[in-house]
């Protein structure tokens, strides 16, 4: 049985989307079912190793797509502006899983809207998610529910923005770090 | 995967009475390798808890990658793990080539293999040397650093840089092996072996060395897998896992080499695995060089790739076995000439997050030994 | 000491300056502040093969209190800036700083939100070495240049100015 079929059988209705690109499988699962899906994948499908957890910001991707779509429709004819659909969730959290027995890899994608940044933490299943989740909080602002120690990891504690978001400028906003030695 | 696990778990509870002293080590401390910082809570000399703090070398490489083209990002990969820059270059090149769906010519693959294994030897030599320095044995460092200079000489002949190599490009390598390599390698193989042998005689059965390393922060295999260990750290725990064997890339499935494993996951096992891996690397280079010599001289070095690299829309992850463990690149492409998102999966990041658990219950001097044996490279740790 | 001898360009003063300069330039003990890639090249420069000890940098001081030259090799991030300031403040006078590599000089390729664009804006720097990373020869050359600089220095001059000013104010 191929990996695709096994994943389909294992996840059943939790599987929202399954894509394949250059042999890399990527499955999308609903946000509130992350913990159940992960423990199912670990126990039933044999994905017992978590390689990495990180975030992706899709802001620019959607903007580019909207621009393209506008260009296309604009060339054909001037149409009445369609009723606006609710925008797709801005962020994604990616989990990279690995099966040590069969050496298969799987990417699990969870879409996270901007107004609800809570994501269940998988640190209870794999402890290797501890720092990657902290980094994702630092860089994107996801709030991992159930994480033992959700603090900034790479930037200093007083830093306010989330640098890897697409609307944060590359050269920063001129933040400086000052230490108050008397209080530390 | 054959698991030969002999579980040795050291369990230590916190001391029952007594005031703990908070001791800050780093970020600038001779034994903290530049930019690492550990905040420890100690009872006398025993560590009750230790919490590493990182980010002192966070340079924004991933954000920078989103603003550069695929070829422009290549030199930045040198600055991740600067002890073995070539492995990072090749890992990135392989990831982009996977996204493009191309495979480079055989000769380029062999040259990459030879250079990568040389880089692996250089990396392990630095690790063993520094581990010795941190434990008070300065002499092996001087023996090994000379061999490292010789390896740097080969890198310099081939692509013109000692440390930050930027070897090859997407689609192959630019230059053939230099002529001088053919005379140098047979001699160098012997001198590397000799230096390793001298180090081995100085350290391995040295009473002080054994006392300082055997049984120091032993770790069991299940915990190691749960924490996401890879590479020599995982193999020291007794798990036979090497991406060169398990998920072969380049032409590693055609070479005959062993994967050394330890039993207890202590500092001594990590040191021994690195010493043995250097020997395996020499074997791989010999085989790759023999295969290289059979190829015709005008065999192609480059695959034809477009001048502006635009992988189709999609996302890929590709990992290789770097000297420290699984080094992966996740690339999300949106069809333009710049990657939409680059995520680097550094090997020592996953190991270092378990540092508090590794050193709990040990002495402060063993913390230094543990840190050196992990081989934490701040560049790839913080990116 | 006689007031006349301090005020004029006397024999005693110049000879004393030469003696002090001789002592300082022959033993510039470095503090290896290696943070990134350049730190590895600094290590090569200190180790066998290049052997920086030939030029007097014999004892690598691992504490800022016992060193003369701060060799800052590698990127300084904004998170690190307060630490660097503090390390510099901990060093005893006289002190010199060598900035090794493009990152320490200007920020180099890392023109990003978290990188300090050159340490020159944080602490005074005597010698800048370009290169990413510079070769060990470059680091040795910088050390020789620093020795030249130390030898051309007037360590007692400032001291004398202070004494003269104090005496004039007292009149």
Which value does ipTM take for this structure? 0.86
In a domain, B294, yes or no: yes
- What backbone phi and psi angles, to 5 degrees, belong to B319? -125, 145
Domains in chain A and their CATH numbers?
3-78+87-145 (3.30.460.80)
CA distance B292 to chain A (A): 29
DSSP C121: G
* Residues of C whose CB is below 8 A from A155: 79, 114
* Residues of C whose CB is below 8 A from B34: 34-36, 39, 74
CA distance B218 to chain C (A): 29
Are B226 and A127 an interchain contact pair (Cβ–Cβ within 8 Å)?
Answer: yes
pLDDT tens digits, one per residue of A54-74:
988 888 877 887 788 777 766
Predicted local distance difference test score (pLDDT) of residue B15: 46
Nearest to A12 by CA among A36, A46, A42: A36
In a domain, B369, yes or no: no
The span from the CA of B178 to the CA of B294, in Å, is 16
Q: Which of C47, C110, C133 sits opposite B59 (nearest CB)?
A: C110
| B residues 286..315 contacting A (CB < 8 A) | 314-315
Are C113 and A168 an interchain contact pair (Cβ–Cβ within 8 Å)?
Answer: yes
In a domain, B266, yes or no: yes
Q: Count CB-CB contacts under 10 A for residue B95.
A: 27
In chain C, the number of structural domains is: 1
Are B99 and A22 an interchain contact pair (Cβ–Cβ within 8 Å)?
Answer: yes
Are B334 and A64 an interchain contact pair (Cβ–Cβ within 8 Å)?
Answer: yes
Predicted local distance difference test score (pLDDT) of residue B357: 86
Residue located via tokens 């030029």: C55
Domain encompassing residue B73: 60-352
First-to-last alpha carbon distance for chain A, in angstroms, is 59
Mutate to test the interface with A, among C75, C81, C82, C86 (most CBs of A within 10 A): C82
- What backbone phi and psi angles, to 5 degrees, belong to C36? -140, -145
Cβ atoms of C64 and C104 within 8 Å: the answer is: no
In chain B, the number of structural domains is: 1
Contact status of B83 with chain C (Cβ, < 8 Å): yes
Domain with residue C141: its CATH number is 3.40.50.12280
Contact status of B73 with chain C (Cβ, < 8 Å): no
CA distance A174 to chain C (A): 8
Residue of B nearest to C116 (CA): B59
Residue A22 region by backbone torsions, left for phi larger than 0, else alpha for psi between -120 and 50, else beta = left
pLDDT tens digits, one per residue of C66-120:
888 998 888 888 888 888 888 888 888 888 999 998 988 988 888 888 888 888 8
> CA B103 from chain center: how many Å?
24
In a domain, C7, yes or no: no
Contact status of C36 with chain B (Cβ, < 8 Å): yes
Say whether pLDDT at A35 is over 80: yes
Are B76 and C33 an interchain contact pair (Cβ–Cβ within 8 Å)?
Answer: no
Q: Which of B28, B63, B379 sits opposite C36 (nearest CB)?
A: B379
Predicted local distance difference test score (pLDDT) of residue C99: 92
Beta strands in chain B (DSSP E): 21-25, 37-43, 46-53, 314-322, 325-333, 339-345
Are B55 and C79 an interchain contact pair (Cβ–Cβ within 8 Å)?
Answer: yes
Using CA atoms, how far residue B310 sits from A122, A175, B108, B166, B194, in Å, is 34, 34, 22, 20, 47
Contact status of B351 with chain C (Cβ, < 8 Å): no
In a domain, B167, yes or no: yes
Q: What is the sign of the dihedral through the CA atoms of C8, C13, C18 and C23?
A: negative
pLDDT tens digits, one per residue of C129-155:
988 889 889 999 999 999 999 888 887
Those residues with Cβ within 8 angstroms of residue A84's Cβ, 6 or more apart along the chain or in another chain: none
Are B78 and C44 an interchain contact pair (Cβ–Cβ within 8 Å)?
Answer: no
Say whether pLDDT at C158 is over 70: yes
Q: Which residues of chain B have pLDDT under 50?
A: 1-13, 15
Contact status of B138 with chain C (Cβ, < 8 Å): no
Are C40 and B379 an interchain contact pair (Cβ–Cβ within 8 Å)?
Answer: no
Q: What's the mean per-residue pLDDT of chain C? A: 84
* Residues of B whose CB is below 8 A from A94: 330, 343
Helix (H) or strand (E) holding B183, with range, is: helix B179-203
Nearest to B50 by CA among B37, B31, B67, B61: B37
Q: Count CB-CB contacts under 10 A for residue B296.
A: 7
Contact status of B338 with chain A (Cβ, < 8 Å): no
In a domain, C167, yes or no: no
Interface A–C counts its CB contacts (< 8 A) at: 31
Q: Which of B57, B149, B163 sits opposite C35 (nearest CB)?
A: B57
Predicted local distance difference test score (pLDDT) of residue C45: 87
Residue located via tokens 């004398």: C160
Residue of C nearest to B379 (CA): C36
Say whether pLDDT at A184 is over 60: no
In a domain, C129, yes or no: yes
Contacts of A7-12 with CB under 8 Å at 24 or more apart are: A7/A45, A7/A106, A10/A40, A10/A41, A10/A44, A10/A45, A11/A37, A11/A40, A11/A41
Are A176 and C78 an interchain contact pair (Cβ–Cβ within 8 Å)?
Answer: yes
Nearest to A97 by CA among B312, B1, B239, B345: B345
Nearest to C127 by CA among C135, C117, C136, C138: C138
Domain encompassing residue C65: 28-150
Residue located via tokens 């980094």: A135
Using CA atoms, how far residue B206 sits from A107, B218, B279, in Å, is 47, 20, 21
Are B328 and A101 an interchain contact pair (Cβ–Cβ within 8 Å)?
Answer: no
| B residues 230..259 contacting C (CB < 8 A) | none
* Residues of C whose CB is below 8 A from A172: 112-114
- What backbone phi and psi angles, to 5 degrees, belong to A146? 95, 5
Contact status of B12 with chain A (Cβ, < 8 Å): no
DSSP-based three-state secondary structure for B24: strand
Are A178 and C82 an interchain contact pair (Cβ–Cβ within 8 Å)?
Answer: yes
Cβ atoms of B116 and B86 within 8 Å: the answer is: yes
DSSP-based three-state secondary structure for B206: coil
* Residues of A whose CB is below 8 A from B63: 163-164, 170
Predicted local distance difference test score (pLDDT) of residue A182: 43
Which chains lie within 8 Å of chain B at 3 or more CB pairs, if any?
A: A, C
Are A164 and B63 an interchain contact pair (Cβ–Cβ within 8 Å)?
Answer: yes
In a domain, B368, yes or no: no
Q: What tokens appear for B348 in the block?
A: 């020592």
More confident of the two residues C170 and C8: C170
Cβ atoms of B317 and A105 within 8 Å: the answer is: yes
Say whether pLDDT at A137 is over 50: yes
Nearest to B171 by CA among B119, B111, B108, B250: B108
Whole-angstrom Cα Rg for chain C = 18
Tally the C-alpha atoms within 13 A of residue B109's C-alpha that lie toward its C-beta. 19
Q: What one-character-per-residue DSSP string does B329-379 give?
A: EEEEE-SSSSEEEEEEE-HHHHHHTTHHHHHTTSBHHHHHHHHHHHT--HH
* Residues of B whose CB is below 8 A from A50: 228
Cβ atoms of B255 and B277 within 8 Å: the answer is: no
The span from the CA of B308 to the CA of B105, in Å, is 20
Contact status of B102 with chain A (Cβ, < 8 Å): no
pTM: 0.88
- Segment C28-38 mean pLDDT: 86
Predicted local distance difference test score (pLDDT) of residue B11: 41
In a domain, B338, yes or no: yes
The span from the CA of B30 to the CA of C63, in Å, is 8
Q: In what order do the strands lie in the sheet with B339-345?
A: B314-322, B325-333, B339-345
Interface A–B counts its CB contacts (< 8 A) at: 86
Q: What one-character-per-residue DSSP string does A99-166 give?
A: -TTT--EEEEEEEE-TT--EEE--TTT-GGGHHHHHHHHHHH--EEET-S----SSS-TT--S-TTST
Are A177 and C78 an interchain contact pair (Cβ–Cβ within 8 Å)?
Answer: yes
Mutate to test the interface with C, among B79, B148, B377 (most CBs of C within 10 A): B79
> CA B265 from chain center: how many Å?
17
Are B28 and C135 an interchain contact pair (Cβ–Cβ within 8 Å)?
Answer: no
Domain with residue B248: its CATH number is 1.10.645.10
Q: What's the mean per-residue pLDDT of chain B? A: 85
Are B145 and C132 an interchain contact pair (Cβ–Cβ within 8 Å)?
Answer: no
Contact status of C113 with chain B (Cβ, < 8 Å): yes
Are A171 and C113 an interchain contact pair (Cβ–Cβ within 8 Å)?
Answer: yes
């Amino acid at each position: 049985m191929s990996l695709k079929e096994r994943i389909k059988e294992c996840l059943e209705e939790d599987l929202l989307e399954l894509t394949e690109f250059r042999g890399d499988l990527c499955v999308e699962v609903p946000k509130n079912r992350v913990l159940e899906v992960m423990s199912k994948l670990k126990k039933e499908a044999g994905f017992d190793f978590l390689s990495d957890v990180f975030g992706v910001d899709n802001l620019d991707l959607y903007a580019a797509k909207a621009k393209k779509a506008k260009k296309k429709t604009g060339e054909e004819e001037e149409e009445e502006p369609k009723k606006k659909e609710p925008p797709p969730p801005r962020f994604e959290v990616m989990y990279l899983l690995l099966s040590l027995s069969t050496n298969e890899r799987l990417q699990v994608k969870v879409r996270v809207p901007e107004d609800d940044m809570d994501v269940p933490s998988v640190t209870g299943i794999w402890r290797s998610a501890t720092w990657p989740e902290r980094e994702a909080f630092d860089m994107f602002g996801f709030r991992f529910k159930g994480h033992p120690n959700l603090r900034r990891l790479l930037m200093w504690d007083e830093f306010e923005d989330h640098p890897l978001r697409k609307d944060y400028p590359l050269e920063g906003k001129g933040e400086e770090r000052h230490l108050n030695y008397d209080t530390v | 995967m054959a698991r030969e696990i002999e579980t040795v778990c050291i369990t230590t509870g916190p001391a029952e009475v007594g005031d703990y002293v908070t001791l800050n080590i780093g970020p600038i401390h001779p034994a903290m390798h530049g930019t690492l910082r550990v905040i420890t809570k100690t009872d006398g000399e025993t560590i009750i808890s230790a919490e590493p703090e990182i980010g002192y070398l966070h340079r924004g490489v991933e954000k920078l990658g989103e603003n550069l083209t695929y070829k422009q990002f290549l030199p930045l990969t040198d600055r991740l793990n600067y002890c073995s820059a070539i492995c990072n270059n090749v890992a990135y090149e392989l990831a982009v080539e996977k996204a493009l769906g191309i495979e480079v010519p055989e000769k380029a693959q062999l040259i990459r293999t030879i250079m990568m294994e040389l880089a692996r030897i250089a990396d392990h030599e630095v690790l063993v040397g520094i581990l010795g320095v941190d434990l008070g044995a300065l002499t092996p460092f001087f023996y090994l650093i000379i061999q490292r200079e010789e390896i740097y000489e080969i890198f310099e002949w081939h692509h013109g840089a000692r440390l930050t190599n930027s070897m090859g490009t997407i689609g192959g390598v630019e230059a053939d092996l230099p002529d001088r390599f053919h005379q140098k390698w047979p001699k160098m193989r012997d001198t590397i072996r000799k230096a390793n042998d001298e180090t081995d005689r100085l350290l391995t059965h040295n009473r002080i060395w054994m006392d300082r390393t055997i049984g120091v922060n032993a770790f069991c295999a299940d915990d190691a897998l749960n924490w996401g260990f890879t590479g020599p750290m995982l193999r020291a725990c007794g798990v036979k896992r090497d991406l060169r064997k398990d998920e072969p890339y380049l032409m590693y499935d055609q070479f005959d080499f062993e994967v050394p494993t330890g039993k207890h996951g202590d500092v001594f096992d990590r040191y021994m695995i690195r010493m043995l891996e250097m020997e395996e690397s020499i074997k791989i280079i010999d085989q790759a060089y023999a295969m290289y010599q059979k190829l015709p001289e005008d065999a192609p070095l480059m695959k034809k790739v477009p001048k502006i690299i635009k992988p189709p829309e999609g996302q890929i992850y590709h990992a290789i076995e770097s000297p420290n463990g699984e080094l992966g690149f996740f690339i999300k492409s949106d069809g333009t000439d710049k990657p939409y998102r680059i995520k680097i999966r550094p090997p020592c990041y996953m190991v270092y997050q378990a540092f508090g658990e590794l050193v709990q219950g040990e002495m402060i001097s063993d913390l230094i030994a543990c840190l050196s044996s992990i081989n934490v490279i701040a560049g790839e740790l913080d990116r | 000491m006689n007031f006349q001898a301090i005020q004029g360009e006397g024999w005693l003063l110049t000879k004393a300056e030469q003696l002090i300069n001789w002592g300082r330039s022959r033993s510039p003990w470095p503090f290896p502040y290696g943070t990134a890639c350049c730190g590895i090249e600094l290590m090569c420069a200190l180790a066998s093969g290049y052997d920086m000890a030939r030029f007097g940098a014999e004892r690598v001081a691992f504490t800022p209190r016992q060193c003369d030259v701060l060799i800052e090799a590698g990127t300084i991030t904004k998170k690190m800036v307060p630490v660097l300031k503090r390390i510099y403040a901990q060093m005893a006078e006289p002190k010199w700083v060598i900035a090794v590599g493009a990152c320490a000089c200007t920020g180099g390729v890392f023109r990003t939100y978290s990188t300090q664009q050159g340490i020159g804006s944080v602490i005074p720097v005597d010698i800048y070495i370009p290169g990413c990373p510079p070769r060990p020869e470059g680091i040795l050359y910088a050390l020789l240049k620093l020795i030249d600089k130390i030898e051309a220095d007037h360590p007692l001059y400032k001291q004398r100015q202070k004494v003269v000013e104090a005496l004039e104010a007292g009149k």
